[in-house]
Structure 1
């Protein structure tokens, strides 16, 4: 009797073990298929994300639509083979235009020039800037494409600070931009306005989609990132209040330091004058050209348009131009024949640095009378 009871008990235990094994097997299979399904879903979403990254400016809901003009050079539209299938969900949304007032702006900035600065440090601070000093926002579609032009000679020390401050400011402003240093070759008298004319043409050769041009001296740093580096309905004067002028506009017609014109505005005034050799006068000539062509200068609020200037001695071969006052009075007669339409120069070298594009140009010599003076 005892043996019979023991046999029944063992039989029940074996059945229970078999049931537990079967239950365990079923649970394992369920978990396996669930993980397998997630695995397939992950790879489908991963492939979709890679396809959208390869074409960051394309409209994923309309794969055959035309990409905006500020997309990566040489980007191709999605081919039919990469079209999302009917049962594949698309999570990437098309980029929206950048806001008029970007949300990441800081406002008033502390600008100082006492800390040592190197190009290596500036490069580390701006890893998103592409070769040649170019940048495009990745989270929105920029409203303009801006070329920033700097007339230059022997100002490497100033350039380091300018790049250190301006690259982060421009990125916060969601600007699609390229920075061009227009370096005057040789040691003849400096000609700021002619260099800016050269910069306008050379920037368009590099990228014909530029529709806004900012002309900036290398020693001027904005003290507020709400001073937006873009073009407006009227020519823009950005440097309203410099510290050397007590943060006030020196006179009503002042257009110096940092200014901006759209492509159409620049061509309408025939660019800048080419015959202002030495310091002074060309800014007033440009102001006259704007007024004579029926346009008005726009400016930011004086509290936002403040600038700090890096102190320096006057450059050699950039002495005050003794003819500037006479030339300013004759703008109406000279602006149609002296400007972009009459510009002559020779490109010596183009170097695409990590933070800017350097264009060295030979722009000729000043008239002999001015050279003797």
Structure 2
């Protein structure tokens, strides 16, 4: 009886163990089936979308992925070739809008790259080749335009010239870098008087104004002698509300203005100001007087001469002997007193000359002209 009871209890225990094992197997089977169908559905979704992406309807509708691409440095799985085509923001190259370039700002009133007081010397040997190497950004004809800002004016710098090649090398050596630092949009014009007749500075300046306008739309004109170098780059070479006298303190005058009405050396007028005074006189043959006539024309037309601070308007002159056929004009004092009567008929409106040639060099434009001869002087007595 006891052995029978023991066998019954053992049978029940084994039955319970078998049921538990079967139950565990069933649970395990269900879990495996759930996991299998879940993974299968994900893989099917990914590959079906990938294949659709290569078809005609790839761009329709948003796509959803099982990866977190919001993490820093997250990239697409390497086993998804062409994944860049599946990005929601990707568009065909032809439909992409190129970024609009930023507008160039106006040049500042006071350029930040100015140096201030400069050391000017004429003892070192100077060649055109050296000056050209120093100024690679200057284009043919002696022109330059800033690339990082938009200048308000276009400036023509006009130099009356004859037999001054030595001086011209130094002028170009110093002025090109100064003008670039000043953010000036400029062109340099050398007005060369042909022949050996009496020199006429003011008439050459009128020629320079006329010929420069044939080359570009200038609205500001700086008239400079070739032997004068500014000693401070804060002396800005552009036009002002009033006619400008730049060279107010030359070393030859002890860095002082020689007299209140002096307007010689380097000056600047806008196109409007220049036409208002009918340009410069054409009848001052030889040295002296024309700058005083110009000063009279300015004041007689209701304008005032503006000047820089005396500490900024300092200039060094290249020492030289007075040019042959540029002797002092004995009639200059009488002519200065008659400016009011002559300025309407003698000026840019009455200019005549013969243009011989225009040659563009790397650092300047050379304009050679014939301007005629002075009228014969009246015989005394």
- What range is the shorter-chain TM-score in? 0.7 to 0.9
Instruction: Report matched runs for 1:252-267 at 5 Å.
Output: 252-267=260-275
Q: Relative to structure 1, is the Cα distance of residues 97 and 31 closer, same or farther in structure 2, using a 3 angstrom cutoff? A: farther
Candidates 354, 359, 363, aligned match of 1:355: 363
Q: For the residues of structure 1 that align with 2:336 and 2:231, how far apart are their CA atoms?
A: 31
Point out where structure 1 has 5 or more consecutive residues left out of the alignment: 1-25, 45-83
Offset, 1:31: 10
Q: Counterpart of 2:377 in 1: which secondary structure?
A: helix
Query: 1:283-294 to 2 correspondence within 5 Å?
Result: 283-294=291-302
- The structure number with the bigger radius of gyration is 2
Provide the C-alpha distance between the structure 1 equivalents of 2:378 and 2:99, rounded to a whole number of angstroms: 67
Q: Partner residue of 1:238?
A: 246
Alignment RMSD (CA, Å): 2.5
Distance in 2 (CA, whole Å) between partners of 1:339 and 1:284 is: 14
Measured in 1, the distance between the counterparts of 2:378 and 2:152 equals 44
Q: Distance in 1 between matches of 2:151 and 2:361?
A: 23
> Quick check: 254-263 or 87-96, which moved more?
87-96
Change in 2 beyond 3 A, CA 1:112/1:370: farther
* 1:143 CA drift (Å): 0.6
Give the equivalent residue in structure 2 for 1:298: 306
CA displacement 1:263-295 (0-9 Å, x = unmatched): 010000000000000000000000000000000
Provide, for residues 292-342 of structure 1, a one-character-per-residue CA deviation record: whole Å limited to 9, x for no partner.
000000000000000000000000000000000000000000000000011
Instruction: Give structure 1 regions of 4+ aligned residues with deviation exceeding 6 angstroms.
Output: 30-34
Q: Deviations over 1:232-261 (max 9, x none)?
A: 000000001000001000000000000000
How many angstroms apart in 1 are the aligned matches of 2:195 and 2:159? 17
Matching residue of 2:173: 164
The correspondence of residues 11-30 of structure 1 with structure 2, limited to 5 A, is 28=78
CA separation in 2, counterparts of 1:105 and 1:268? 33
Q: Distance in 2 between matches of 1:213 and 1:357?
A: 15
Match of residue 207, structure 2, among 182, 198, 208: 198
In the TM superposition, 1:35-74 aligns within 5 A as none
- SS of the aligned residue for 1:248 comes to coil
Equivalences for residues 184-333 of structure 1 within 5 A: 184-207=193-216, 209-333=217-341
CA distance in structure 2 between the partners assigned to 1:348 and 1:224 by the alignment: 36
Partner SS, residue 199 of structure 1: helix
Using the size of structure 2 for normalisation, the TM-score is 0.76
Task: Describe how 1:89-168 pairs up with structure 2 within 5 A.
Answer: 90=99, 92-168=101-177
Shift of 1:132: 0.4
Partner of 1:176: 185
Unaligned 5+ runs, structure 2: 1-75
Q: Deviation per CA, 1:113-144, whole angstroms, max 9, x where unpaired? A: 00000000000111111100011111111110
